[in-house]
Structure formats: structure tokens, C-alpha cells
Amino acid sequence: MEMEKNQRIISFSPPDISEAEIQEVAEALRSGWITTGPRTKLLERRLAAYIETGRPDVDCQTDAAMAAYSNRVVCLNSATAAEEMSLRILGIGPGDEVIVPAFTYTATASAVIHCGATPILVDIQRDGDDVTRAPEMDYEKVEAAITEKTKAIVPVDLGGIVCDYDKLFEIVERKCHLFVPLEDDGSMLGSLSARIQRAIGRVMIVADCAHSLGAGRVVGGTWKNCGQIADMTSFSFHAVKNFTTAEGGASTWRRLKGIDDAEIYHMFQLLSLHGQNKDALAKTKIGAWEYDIMGPWYKCNMTDIMAAIGLRQLDRYPKLLARRAEIIKKYDAACDALGISHLIHHTQRMTSSKHLYLIHIPGIDTEKRNRIIEKMAECGVATNVHYKPLPMLTAYKKLGWDIKDFPNAYSYYENLITLPLHTLLTDEDVEYVCKALQNAVESN
Ligand SMILES: Cc1ncc(COP(=O)(O)O)c(C=O)c1O
């Protein structure tokens, strides 16, 4: 076959690391400060500026930028930690229910479990959203799942496609009479959580934006970037993500009347660093060795080595997104010609972060889907499936969830393949993937 002569090796999602990231990491290593420090703080301000303005090049060293963008974003060691710390700050724990999609990565639900709360899985819309085909939750089922125990909903911007937050906010406003805010227990964390729950006054929206840094959509009639939409938002900077720090993640939140951002930021610092009231950098100040432990908390801070990668990735991010858009255009044309349905990454009201390219091969079952994946692998093309629904995984089966109760998640999964989408792909690689897909589908 033609393809065998010109065999290429196409990885699924290798990191795009330039000399700039390598240099910045080397400088961090030489600087004598490798754990959480100045580079992490700068990355936090730059991410805050990027989320607020859409610009990655705001000078975040000026006094004005320090004032505007400090205490808005917290960088941590993963999105899982970011979601868990967010839920903990919101006061979510045993006895509480949190609604999550059945069709997502385990971390969306496991962070809820780590807090001692109960995830309530909700099926997705049949064949996904009408316009984008993204596996968004069935919003009628979301509304029906809200009880007096429900404290939060965790929508997932899967593949970087932003969910319908207008619908979600409408639902939680409509159901606000069921929301029972936490009682203030007088503790440092408990008092803050109770004040936040009272200030929000309805089921809280805690977005899983692990895939969607740089995406946005019209919400409430105005354009909003991910990070500006939900009550709390978590991002992932894992090695396979568009924007990486090897491992890593971040949390941000919408400003709340009567609660200082610095107070929320400080609580994230405490929760993510043993409850210690001075970080390592603060302790290096002359005579400032002494610290206290405010709670027996967690350890999930970002290091300056990770932040060094992020600082240079952020410089390059608009170009990386633009290249992803070019690849998507080519995939769209090839899939449309083959009658294969795919995610729509751009609409008049939404632009995604172009993270994953999900396709559905019409009329096939999982066996045939897996054969297509194998055939593509034989041609050197790595593909994937995002995701096997949670109720099909051992841990969630053991918790009592059954895929029979999630027919839409199953039918979405059955004929699903994720094509490689990353910025190391050349135009020739993309053509090769399209050809390998065509051969695999046609010979199946
Ligand atoms: C939808 C979703 N949420 C959360 C996560 C967790 O991200 P991290 O690995 O940074 O904890 C992932 C990771 O792939 C994900 O895909």
C-alpha cells in the first residue's frame, strides 16, 4: 500500500517545547530558587492578565499590574489539586452532592470524592450539543438532579469547547430556593467557606477547564474568557495539554462582593502548602524563620521550574492556538468529505482552545472502532478515545454506577476516536493522518 512506503510516526500529543522554555528552566535552576517563588508568582499574574484581557504579553512586573493581577490565580501541581482545593475553599465535604458529567476524565469526579462529597453522575445530551457536538450534560437531567444536598455542578469544557454556562446559571438561579448554605463553624476555613456560600446563595458552578485555557464564549450577553465565567475554575497544564508546565494546574474565581480576593488567595496558599502561614520564600527573609501551621492541610504547590516552562509557553500560546486552528480546518475538510462527524471548535458565540479533535464514525460499534484505531496504529498514527464513560470504569462501577443508566454517554463513546492534534504536526503529517483514517474506515 502507498502508505507503507512512506510510513510516518505520528505521536498522539507530544509536548511542544522550544529553546525558550529550555533556557528559562536552565535560568531557574541556576537562580538558586527552584521551588515556589518569583517565577510561580509571575506566572500567576500573567495568567490572570491573560484571562482578563486575552493578552499573554501584559507586563506583569509593574506596580499597576501587581495591583491588578495579584491574588487572582493560584498555580498548583495539577488540575486535580486545583479542583479539590477549590471545592474545599467552597466548603464542600461529607454529606454534600456535586453534579458531574458521566462522560469525562476521572479527575472531575475523583476530586469531589477526595473532599468526602458524593459525585452525582449525569448523562450527556444524545449525540452531544446540537451545534458543537461536544459531550455536554443533558441540562434537563442536571436540573432534575439538584436536591437540598447539591452544593456544586462541575461542567467540563471537553476538548476545549466551552459549555453552555447561560443554561447552567439559569438552572442554578431557578433552583436557588433549594440551596442550603454552610453554617459558620468558627474555624478559619469554615468561616470563609460559609461566607462564600452565603455570598453566592445558590448551587456553585466549579468549571473543569482542564482543556480550555484560552477558550471563551458569550455568557450573559458578553464575551467571557474561561476563568471569567464560573464561580471557580480549574485549568490543567499536564504534559499533553495545549499549554504545559510538565505537570501543573491553576485555580481562579469570580470576584465576590464582600470577600477580598487576597483572602481567597491566602486560603489556597495555606491549603496547598501544609497549612503553613509562611512559604519557603517568606521564610528566607532575615530573622523570619518562625511559622505556624493553621490546619493539617495538603501539599500541591507549583515549583519555579514548572513555572519557568509556563512563562515561555504563555509567550508562544497565541501562535500555538493559531496553528491548532489551521490543523482543525484541514481535519474538518477531510472528515466532511468522508461523512464523519466531528467537534465544531468555532461558532459565532464560542471559540474553543482547540485541544482535542473528536470524531464519530457513523454506524459502527466499539469492536469496529477499535479495529480502525489498530489499523491507524499500523500506519504509525497514534489515536485515542476521550473518554470511556466513568460508569464503565471499575472504580465507578464499585460505587454503584451502571452504564445502562447512561445510554447517551455510551452511544457517544461507541464509535468515538480522537485524532492527534498538536503543534509538532506538519501539513504533510496532517494529510498523512487523513489518508490513514480514510484507508482504515474504507477497509473496515
Ligand atoms: C477533563 C479533565 N479534568 C481534569 C484533568 C486532570 O488534570 P491534571 O492531570 O492536571 O490533574 C484532566 C486530565 O487530563 C482532564 O482531562
Give residue 123's pLDDT.
Answer: 98
Give residue 230's pLDDT.
Answer: 98
Give residue 3's pLDDT.
Answer: 67
**2 pLDDT band (50/70/90 cuts)?**
low
* Residues 60-75: b if buried by 16+ CB within 10 A, e if exposed: beeeebeebbbbbbbb
Q: Which atom of ligand 1 is nearest to the CA of 237?
A: 10
How does DSSP assign 335-386, residue by residue? HHHHT-EE---EETTEE-----EEEE-TT--HHHHHHHHHHHHHTTB--B-S
**6 pLDDT band (50/70/90 cuts)?**
confident
Whether the bond into 387 is cis, omega within 30 of 0: yes
Half-sphere exposure of 326 (CA within 13 A, CB side): 16
User: Coil, helix or strand for 277?
Assistant: coil
Q: Which atom of ligand 1 is nearest to the CA of 249?
A: 10
Q: Which atom of ligand 1 is nearest to the CA of 78?
A: 10
pLDDT at 1 > cutoff 90: no
Q: What is the pLDDT of residues 384-418, one digit of tens each?
A: 999 999 999 999 999 999 999 999 999 999 999 99
- For 419, the enclosing helix (H) or strand (E) is strand 416-419
pLDDT at 164 > cutoff 60: yes
d(CA 320, CA 317): 5
Q: What is the pLDDT of residues 195-254, one digit of tens each?
A: 999 999 999 999 999 999 999 999 999 999 999 999 999 999 999 999 999 999 999 999
Indicate the top mutation candidate among 13, 108, 236 to test ligand 1's pocket, ranked by most ligand atoms within 8 A of CB. 236
> Above pLDDT 90, what percent of the chain?
95
Give residue 286's pLDDT.
Answer: 81
Distance 212 CA to ligand 1 centre (A): 11
- For 5, the enclosing helix (H) or strand (E) is helix 2-5
Mean pLDDT on 94-114: 98
Distance 241 CA to ligand 1 centre (A): 9
Give residue 151's pLDDT.
Answer: 98
Give residue 409's pLDDT.
Answer: 98
Which residues neighbour 19 within 8 Å (Cβ) at sequence distance 6 or greater?
none
pLDDT at 309 > cutoff 70: yes
Give residue 127's pLDDT.
Answer: 97
Q: Which of 390, 412, 339 is nearest to 136 (CA)?
A: 412
**336 pLDDT band (50/70/90 cuts)?**
very high
Q: What is the pLDDT of residues 44-101, one digit of tens each?
A: 999 999 999 999 999 999 999 999 999 999 999 999 999 999 999 999 999 999 999 9
Half-sphere exposure of 207 (CA within 13 A, CB side): 33
User: Coil, helix or strand for 38?
Assistant: helix
Burial class (CB in 10 A: 0-12, 13-18, 19+), 291: middle
**382 pLDDT band (50/70/90 cuts)?**
very high
pLDDT at 290 > cutoff 60: yes
Mean pLDDT on 430-437: 98
The mean pLDDT value of the chain amounts to 97
**135 pLDDT band (50/70/90 cuts)?**
very high
Residues whose beta carbon lies within 6 Å of some atom of ligand 1: 78-80, 104-105, 107-108, 156, 208, 210, 236, 238, 249
Mean pLDDT on 110-116: 98
pLDDT at 283 > cutoff 90: no
Greater confidence (279 vs 300) lies with 300
* Residues 292-305: b if buried by 16+ CB within 10 A, e if exposed: eebeebbebbbbbb
Atom 7 (ligand 1) nearest CA: 79
Indicate the top mutation candidate among 105, 300, 358 to test ligand 1's pocket, ranked by most ligand atoms within 8 A of CB. 105
> Above pLDDT 70, what percent of the chain?
99
Greater confidence (304 vs 281) lies with 304
